[in-house]
Amino acid sequence: MAPTKLVVDLSGPFLWLDCASRRVSSSHRPIPSGSLQCSRARPLAEDILAVERVDRSDWVIATVDRFLFSCAPPLLVNGLASGAKGMLGLGRGRISLPSQIATSFGGVHRKFAACLSSNDGFIVSGEGVPLLRSDVSNSLTYTPLISNKEGTLEDYYINVKSIKINGKRLSLNTSKLTMDHRGNGGTKLSTIVPYTTMETTIYETFAKAYVTAAAATNMTRVASVRRSGSALALAGLEKPGWGRRRRRSIS
């Protein structure tokens, strides 16, 4: 077994790899194109996945012997982070990582927690794993996830009721923040889009209020960064260790 670097895709339906550029293991097996599994992704293969498992408070190595994933053309890897060979899907689908782990290990719920930090983070499936001290976990604020009535969406959505800047609620058409009965609209969580995107009218109201609030804290407008609509310099507001002057942009 060999480790493989992957980009975490919160709403991804499955794990996909550039199979052509990696060493094929002896346990790698293509799935026939006419099989039931291939109705979810093509081309599909299976291999052994090693994971750490908590067994009576001890960490042990366990395996998913027939873990399903998709093989993608090498061209798709070009847009990923340096060194990444594919993407790890954590979506609601039947062959995402949480779903396959829940199926492989009896008694494991199809739940997961992810800590994606600039340092070493973690992803854990199931519940009740003592990763955080009780005093830390009790201080967390929780937001329920929502889905469409049919439960067919791979993505994870939250119900945003309002947006505030400096404690002041913005005047918005909040119906655009919520999902309709057809599953359109809503506020989606993502780990692959590196910035927040908004519906045009919401963005215009947000940007205007943000720039006004920023001016009150001595932040100044500067040239836009790439395609961002507004950019602000944090001159005089740097924290120790920040180093060179930085910009905060609104896209």
Query: Which two three-digit tokens encode residue 132?
Result: 């955080």
Q: Residue 38: is its pLDDT beyond 70?
A: no
C-alpha distances out from residue 152 to 149, 178, 246, Å? 8, 17, 42
**145-238 is classed CATH 3.40.50.720:** no
Give the mean pLDDT of 32-53. 73
Q: Is 61 helix (H, G, I), strand (E, B) or coil?
A: strand
Backbone angles phi, psi at 135, to 5 degrees: -70, -25
> Does this chain's domain 7-132 share its CATH topology with 145-238?
yes
Please name every residue paired with 145 in a beta bridge, in sequence order, or none if there are none.
158
Among 4-13, 134-143, 194-203, whose mean pLDDT is lowest?
134-143
Q: Residue 55: is its pLDDT beyond 90?
A: no
User: Nearest CA to 202 among 145, 233, 231, 162?
Assistant: 162
Q: Is 158 helix (H, G, I), strand (E, B) or coil?
A: strand
pTM passes above 0.85: no
How many alpha carbons fall within 13 Å on the CB side of residue 92? 12
Burial label for 171, CB within 10 Å (0-12, 13-18, 19+), is exposed
Summarised one tens digit per residue, pLDDT across range 175-209 is 888 887 777 788 889 998 888 888 899 999 998 99
What percent of the chain is predicted at pLDDT more than 70?
Answer: 77
Query: Which two three-digit tokens encode residue 221?
Result: 């407008």
Give the mean pLDDT of 70-84. 89
Under 8 Å between Cβ of 145 and 157: yes
Give the mean pLDDT of 216-238. 70
Interatomic CA distance for residues 27 and 48, integer angstroms: 7
Q: Residue 238: is its pLDDT beyond 70?
A: no
Interatomic CA distance for residues 125 and 106, integer angstroms: 12
User: 7-132: what fold?
Assistant: Cathepsin D, subunit A; domain 1 (2.40.70)
What is the torsion angle, in degrees rounded to the nearest 10, for the CA atoms of residue 25, residue 29, residue 30 and residue 32? 170
pLDDT given at position 43: 79
pLDDT given at position 226: 67
- Per DSSP (E only), the strands in 72-182 are 86-89, 112-115, 122-125, 145-146, 157-158, 164-165, 168-169
pLDDT given at position 242: 37
Q: Residue 89: is its pLDDT beyond 90?
A: yes
Q: Tell me the average pLDDT of the chain.
A: 79
**So where are the chain's domains?**
7-132, 145-238
Q: Is 124 helix (H, G, I), strand (E, B) or coil?
A: strand
Query: Which two three-digit tokens encode residue 234?
Result: 């944090």
